[in-house]
Protein backbone atom coordinates (compact mmCIF):
# COMPACT_ATOMS: atom_id res chain seq x y z
CA UNK A 1 0.00 0.00 0.00
CA UNK A 2 1.28 3.54 -0.77
CA UNK A 3 2.85 5.40 2.14
CA UNK A 4 0.79 8.48 3.08
CA UNK A 5 2.40 11.77 4.14
CA UNK A 6 0.76 14.79 5.70
CA UNK A 7 2.12 18.14 6.89
CA UNK A 8 0.95 20.57 9.52
CA UNK A 9 -0.07 21.51 12.99
CA UNK A 10 0.33 19.18 15.94
CA UNK A 11 -1.15 20.60 19.13
CA UNK A 12 -3.10 19.77 22.27
CA UNK A 13 -6.70 20.59 22.97
CA UNK A 14 -8.16 21.52 26.36
CA UNK A 15 -11.94 21.43 26.57
CA UNK A 16 -14.09 23.43 29.03
CA UNK A 17 -16.48 21.12 30.86
CA UNK A 18 -19.13 23.85 31.19
CA UNK A 19 -21.07 25.30 28.26
CA UNK A 20 -21.11 28.99 27.42
CA UNK A 21 -19.43 31.62 25.30
CA UNK A 22 -15.64 31.81 25.53
CA UNK A 23 -13.33 32.06 28.52
CA UNK A 24 -14.27 35.10 30.56
CA UNK A 25 -13.89 33.51 33.96
CA UNK A 26 -11.91 30.51 35.29
CA UNK A 27 -13.19 27.26 33.76
CA UNK A 28 -12.77 23.60 34.67
CA UNK A 29 -11.04 21.97 31.68
CA UNK A 30 -10.34 18.42 30.55
CA UNK A 31 -7.33 17.43 28.52
CA UNK A 32 -4.72 17.81 27.20
CA UNK A 33 -5.88 15.75 24.23
CA UNK A 34 -3.54 15.21 21.27
CA UNK A 35 -4.85 17.24 18.32
CA UNK A 36 -4.26 19.17 15.10
CA UNK A 37 -6.22 18.28 11.96
CA UNK A 38 -3.29 16.65 10.11
CA UNK A 39 -2.32 14.73 13.27
CA UNK A 40 -5.87 13.39 13.70
CA UNK A 41 -6.01 12.44 10.01
CA UNK A 42 -2.73 10.55 10.14
CA UNK A 43 -3.66 8.87 13.43
CA UNK A 44 -6.81 7.51 11.77
CA UNK A 45 -4.69 6.18 8.88
CA UNK A 46 -2.41 4.43 11.38
CA UNK A 47 -5.26 2.96 13.40
CA UNK A 48 -6.56 1.35 10.19
CA UNK A 49 -3.14 -0.20 9.57
CA UNK A 50 -2.06 2.28 6.90
CA UNK A 51 1.58 3.25 6.39
CA UNK A 52 1.84 6.96 7.20
CA UNK A 53 4.08 9.83 8.34
CA UNK A 54 3.63 13.45 9.39
CA UNK A 55 5.93 16.44 9.06
CA UNK A 56 5.41 18.82 11.98
CA UNK A 57 7.10 20.70 14.80
CA UNK A 58 6.43 20.64 18.54
CA UNK A 59 8.09 22.07 21.63
CA UNK A 60 10.28 19.95 23.89
CA UNK A 61 7.48 19.79 26.47
CA UNK A 62 4.89 17.34 27.79
CA UNK A 63 2.35 18.41 25.15
CA UNK A 64 4.73 17.70 22.28
CA UNK A 65 5.87 14.36 23.68
CA UNK A 66 2.26 13.35 24.40
CA UNK A 67 1.48 13.77 20.70
CA UNK A 68 4.58 11.95 19.52
CA UNK A 69 3.89 9.03 21.89
CA UNK A 70 0.27 8.73 20.70
CA UNK A 71 1.15 8.83 17.00
CA UNK A 72 4.04 6.36 17.46
CA UNK A 73 1.75 4.01 19.43
CA UNK A 74 -0.63 3.97 16.49
CA UNK A 75 2.11 3.05 14.05
CA UNK A 76 2.86 6.45 12.52
CA UNK A 77 6.36 7.26 11.30
CA UNK A 78 7.21 10.23 13.58
CA UNK A 79 10.70 10.83 12.17
CA UNK A 80 9.46 14.06 10.51
CA UNK A 81 8.32 15.65 13.80
CA UNK A 82 10.97 18.11 14.89
CA UNK A 83 11.23 18.70 18.66
CA UNK A 84 12.24 22.36 19.17
CA UNK A 85 14.23 23.10 22.33
CA UNK A 86 13.04 26.15 24.25
CA UNK A 87 9.78 26.43 22.27
CA UNK A 88 6.26 25.39 23.20
CA UNK A 89 3.68 23.11 21.61
CA UNK A 90 0.52 24.85 20.38
CA UNK A 91 -2.72 24.70 22.38
CA UNK A 92 -6.38 25.03 21.48
CA UNK A 93 -8.76 25.90 24.32
CA UNK A 94 -12.30 25.00 23.32
CA UNK A 95 -15.64 25.81 24.90
CA UNK A 96 -19.00 24.66 23.56
CA UNK A 97 -21.96 27.02 23.51
CA UNK A 98 -25.44 25.76 24.36
CA UNK A 99 -26.32 25.61 20.62
CA UNK A 100 -23.42 23.22 19.89
CA UNK A 101 -21.17 25.85 18.22
CA UNK A 102 -17.66 26.34 19.64
CA UNK A 103 -15.39 29.20 20.64
CA UNK A 104 -11.61 28.74 20.55
CA UNK A 105 -8.46 30.31 21.97
CA UNK A 106 -5.47 29.18 19.86
CA UNK A 107 -1.78 29.61 20.60
CA UNK A 108 -0.63 28.00 17.34
CA UNK A 109 0.83 31.16 15.81
CA UNK A 110 3.10 31.59 18.86
CA UNK A 111 4.08 27.90 19.03
CA UNK A 112 6.81 25.67 17.59
CA UNK A 113 4.53 24.89 14.61
CA UNK A 114 4.91 28.47 13.32
CA UNK A 115 8.59 27.93 12.48
CA UNK A 116 8.14 24.70 10.51
CA UNK A 117 10.67 24.40 7.70
CA UNK A 118 12.08 21.65 5.50
CA UNK A 119 14.51 19.48 7.49
CA UNK A 120 16.58 16.51 6.32
CA UNK A 121 14.03 14.12 7.86
CA UNK A 122 11.17 15.95 6.17
CA UNK A 123 12.93 15.91 2.79
CA UNK A 124 13.56 12.19 3.03
CA UNK A 125 9.86 11.55 3.79
CA UNK A 126 8.98 13.53 0.66
CA UNK A 127 11.14 11.02 -1.25
CA UNK A 128 9.80 7.86 0.43
CA UNK A 129 6.05 8.62 0.49
CA UNK A 130 3.73 8.02 -2.47
CA UNK A 131 0.66 9.99 -1.40
CA UNK A 132 0.33 13.45 0.13
CA UNK A 133 -2.71 14.59 2.11
CA UNK A 134 -3.06 18.36 2.41
CA UNK A 135 -5.17 20.19 4.97
CA UNK A 136 -6.15 23.80 4.20
CA UNK A 137 -5.02 24.89 7.66
CA UNK A 138 -1.46 23.89 6.73
CA UNK A 139 -1.65 26.37 3.82
CA UNK A 140 -2.68 29.30 6.02
CA UNK A 141 0.69 29.94 7.71
CA UNK A 142 3.84 30.64 5.69
CA UNK A 143 6.24 28.02 7.17
CA UNK A 144 3.79 25.14 7.02
CA UNK A 145 2.59 26.23 3.59
CA UNK A 146 6.10 26.22 2.13
CA UNK A 147 6.73 22.68 3.42
CA UNK A 148 3.30 21.47 2.27
CA UNK A 149 3.71 22.92 -1.24
CA UNK A 150 7.19 21.40 -1.57
CA UNK A 151 5.81 17.99 -0.53
CA UNK A 152 3.06 18.32 -3.16
CA UNK A 153 5.56 19.18 -5.91
CA UNK A 154 7.99 16.38 -5.05
CA UNK A 155 5.43 13.62 -4.52
CA UNK A 156 3.36 14.49 -7.60
CA UNK A 157 6.53 14.75 -9.72
CA UNK A 158 7.31 11.14 -8.82
CA UNK A 159 3.84 10.03 -9.96
CA UNK A 160 2.27 10.05 -6.49
CA UNK A 161 -1.28 11.04 -5.65
CA UNK A 162 -2.84 13.83 -3.60
CA UNK A 163 -5.89 14.16 -1.37
CA UNK A 164 -7.04 17.55 -0.16
CA UNK A 165 -9.33 18.54 2.71
CA UNK A 166 -9.74 22.34 2.56
CA UNK A 167 -10.70 22.47 6.27
CA UNK A 168 -10.96 26.21 5.89
CA UNK A 169 -12.92 28.83 7.79
CA UNK A 170 -14.26 31.76 5.73
CA UNK A 171 -12.52 34.28 8.03
CA UNK A 172 -9.04 33.06 7.07
CA UNK A 173 -9.71 33.08 3.30
CA UNK A 174 -8.30 36.60 3.09
CA UNK A 175 -4.90 35.50 4.47
CA UNK A 176 -2.34 36.81 1.92
CA UNK A 177 -1.40 34.13 -0.59
CA UNK A 178 -3.89 31.56 0.74
CA UNK A 179 -6.27 31.66 -2.26
CA UNK A 180 -3.41 31.04 -4.69
CA UNK A 181 -2.10 28.14 -2.60
CA UNK A 182 -5.57 26.57 -2.32
CA UNK A 183 -5.93 26.87 -6.11
CA UNK A 184 -2.44 25.45 -6.68
CA UNK A 185 -3.25 22.39 -4.56
CA UNK A 186 -6.69 21.96 -6.12
CA UNK A 187 -5.06 21.79 -9.56
CA UNK A 188 -3.03 18.76 -8.41
CA UNK A 189 -5.78 17.03 -6.41
CA UNK A 190 -6.91 13.47 -7.08
CA UNK A 191 -9.32 13.05 -4.13
CA UNK A 192 -11.05 16.18 -2.83
CA UNK A 193 -12.80 16.07 0.56
CA UNK A 194 -14.69 19.33 1.19
CA UNK A 195 -17.46 19.89 3.70
CA UNK A 196 -20.39 22.29 3.69
CA UNK A 197 -19.70 25.67 2.11
CA UNK A 198 -16.12 24.83 1.14
CA UNK A 199 -17.48 23.46 -2.13
CA UNK A 200 -18.80 26.93 -3.02
CA UNK A 201 -15.95 28.95 -1.45
CA UNK A 202 -13.42 27.18 -3.67
CA UNK A 203 -15.33 26.92 -6.94
CA UNK A 204 -17.41 30.10 -6.93
CA UNK A 205 -20.36 27.93 -8.06
CA UNK A 206 -23.80 28.61 -6.58
CA UNK A 207 -25.21 25.09 -6.52
CA UNK A 208 -23.82 21.68 -5.74
CA UNK A 209 -24.21 20.13 -9.19
CA UNK A 210 -22.35 23.03 -10.89
CA UNK A 211 -19.59 22.93 -8.29
CA UNK A 212 -19.09 19.19 -8.83
CA UNK A 213 -19.04 19.66 -12.62
CA UNK A 214 -16.42 22.40 -12.33
CA UNK A 215 -14.22 20.20 -10.13
CA UNK A 216 -14.48 17.10 -12.35
CA UNK A 217 -13.69 19.24 -15.42
CA UNK A 218 -10.67 20.56 -13.57
CA UNK A 219 -9.30 17.00 -13.47
CA UNK A 220 -10.16 15.96 -9.89
CA UNK A 221 -10.92 12.23 -10.00
CA UNK A 222 -13.07 11.88 -6.90
CA UNK A 223 -14.99 14.36 -4.76
CA UNK A 224 -16.25 13.28 -1.36
CA UNK A 225 -18.65 15.77 0.18
CA UNK A 226 -18.90 15.56 3.98
CA UNK A 227 -22.35 16.52 5.22
CA UNK A 228 -21.99 16.26 9.01
CA UNK A 229 -25.07 14.70 10.59
CA UNK A 230 -26.54 14.28 7.06
CA UNK A 231 -23.99 11.67 5.94
CA UNK A 232 -21.79 12.05 2.84
CA UNK A 233 -21.72 11.81 -0.98
CA UNK A 234 -19.13 10.60 -3.49
CA UNK A 235 -18.85 11.93 -7.04
CA UNK A 236 -16.66 10.76 -9.93
CA UNK A 237 -16.89 10.40 -13.70
CA UNK A 238 -19.27 7.43 -13.19
CA UNK A 239 -21.79 9.44 -11.18
CA UNK A 240 -22.89 9.95 -7.61
CA UNK A 241 -23.22 7.74 -4.52
CA UNK A 242 -24.83 8.91 -1.28
CA UNK A 243 -24.49 7.40 2.15
CA UNK A 244 -27.06 8.01 4.87
CA UNK A 245 -25.75 9.06 8.27
CA UNK A 246 -25.57 6.56 11.11
CA UNK A 247 -27.69 7.63 14.07
CA UNK A 248 -25.42 8.57 16.96
CA UNK A 249 -25.41 10.83 19.98
CA UNK A 250 -23.03 13.68 19.18
CA UNK A 251 -20.70 14.33 22.13
CA UNK A 252 -17.76 16.13 20.48
CA UNK A 253 -17.73 16.84 16.70
CA UNK A 254 -14.08 17.99 16.55
CA UNK A 255 -12.04 15.58 14.44
CA UNK A 256 -14.98 13.87 12.67
CA UNK A 257 -13.97 15.18 9.26
CA UNK A 258 -10.32 14.23 9.82
CA UNK A 259 -11.25 10.68 10.86
CA UNK A 260 -13.62 10.45 7.87
CA UNK A 261 -10.82 11.60 5.54
CA UNK A 262 -8.21 9.31 7.11
CA UNK A 263 -10.49 6.31 6.69
CA UNK A 264 -11.59 7.18 3.12
CA UNK A 265 -8.07 7.81 1.82
CA UNK A 266 -6.59 4.72 3.52
CA UNK A 267 -9.26 2.42 2.17
CA UNK A 268 -9.25 3.82 -1.39
CA UNK A 269 -5.47 3.58 -1.59
CA UNK A 270 -5.72 0.00 -0.29
CA UNK A 271 -8.06 -0.84 -3.21
CA UNK A 272 -11.53 -0.57 -1.66
CA UNK A 273 -14.35 0.52 -3.99
CA UNK A 274 -15.59 4.10 -3.56
CA UNK A 275 -18.77 2.80 -1.91
CA UNK A 276 -16.95 0.58 0.58
CA UNK A 277 -14.54 3.42 1.45
CA UNK A 278 -17.50 5.82 1.82
CA UNK A 279 -19.38 3.36 4.06
CA UNK A 280 -16.43 2.91 6.42
CA UNK A 281 -15.48 6.61 6.37
CA UNK A 282 -19.08 7.51 7.25
CA UNK A 283 -18.79 5.12 10.21
CA UNK A 284 -15.40 6.57 11.20
CA UNK A 285 -16.86 10.11 11.22
CA UNK A 286 -19.97 9.05 13.14
CA UNK A 287 -17.98 7.09 15.72
CA UNK A 288 -15.60 10.03 16.17
CA UNK A 289 -18.40 12.35 17.31
CA UNK A 290 -19.38 9.96 20.09
CA UNK A 291 -16.01 10.41 21.90
CA UNK A 292 -14.67 13.37 23.85
CA UNK A 293 -11.31 14.54 22.48
CA UNK A 294 -10.46 15.12 18.81
CA UNK A 295 -8.16 12.12 18.35
CA UNK A 296 -9.88 9.84 20.86
CA UNK A 297 -12.54 8.85 18.34
CA UNK A 298 -10.27 7.48 15.61
CA UNK A 299 -11.05 3.83 14.95
CA UNK A 300 -9.46 0.49 14.14
CA UNK A 301 -11.04 -1.69 11.44
CA UNK A 302 -12.47 -4.00 14.13
CA UNK A 303 -14.05 -1.00 15.89
CA UNK A 304 -15.58 0.22 12.62
CA UNK A 305 -16.98 -3.22 11.76
CA UNK A 306 -18.52 -3.49 15.24
CA UNK A 307 -19.88 0.05 15.02
CA UNK A 308 -21.45 -0.68 11.62
CA UNK A 309 -22.96 -3.93 12.90
CA UNK A 310 -24.54 -1.98 15.79
CA UNK A 311 -25.75 1.01 13.75
CA UNK A 312 -26.33 0.00 10.14
CA UNK A 313 -29.77 -1.45 10.92
CA UNK A 314 -30.81 2.22 11.07
CA UNK A 315 -30.91 2.33 7.23
Using CB under 6 A, list all residues that contact ligand ADP: 195, 226-229, 231-232, 245-246, 248, 250, 253, 256-257, 260, 282, 285-286, 289
Strand 29-35, strand 11-16: pairing: antiparallel
In whole angstroms, the minimum distance from the beta carbon of 102 to ligand ADP comes to 11
The separation between CA 189 and the C-alpha centre of its own chain, rounded to angstroms, equals 15
Query: Looking at beta carbons only, is 115 or 251 nearer to ligand ADP?
Result: 251
Which residue, 33 or 58, is less far from ligand ADP as judged by CB? 33
The minimum distance between CB 131 and ligand ADP, in angstroms, equals: 19
- Work out how close the CB of 159 gets to ligand ADP at its nearest, in angstroms, rounded to a whole number: 28
Bridge-partner residues for 33, per DSSP? 13
Please, what's the b/e burial string for 190-219 (b: 16 or more CB within 10 A of its CB; e: otherwise)? bbbbbbeebbebbbeeeeeeebbeebbeee
Q: Which lies closer to ligand ADP via its Cβ, residue 87 or residue 198?
A: 198
**Cβ distance to ligand ADP smaller for residue 49 or 253:** 253
Residue closer to ligand ADP by CB (options 192, 260) is: 260
Closest approach, Cβ 103 to ligand ADP, in A, equals 17
Closest CA to 289 of 246, 234, 243, 233: 246
CB of 253 to ligand ADP, least distance (A): 6
Amino acid sequence: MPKILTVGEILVELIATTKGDGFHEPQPLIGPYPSGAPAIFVNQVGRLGGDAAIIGRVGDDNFGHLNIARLARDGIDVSGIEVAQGEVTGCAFVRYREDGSRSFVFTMAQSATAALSITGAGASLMESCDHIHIMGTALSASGMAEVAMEAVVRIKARGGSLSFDPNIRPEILDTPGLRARLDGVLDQTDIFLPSGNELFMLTGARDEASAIRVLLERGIREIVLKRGAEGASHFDADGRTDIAPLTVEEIDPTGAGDCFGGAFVTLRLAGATPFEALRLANAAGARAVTRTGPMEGSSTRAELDRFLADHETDY
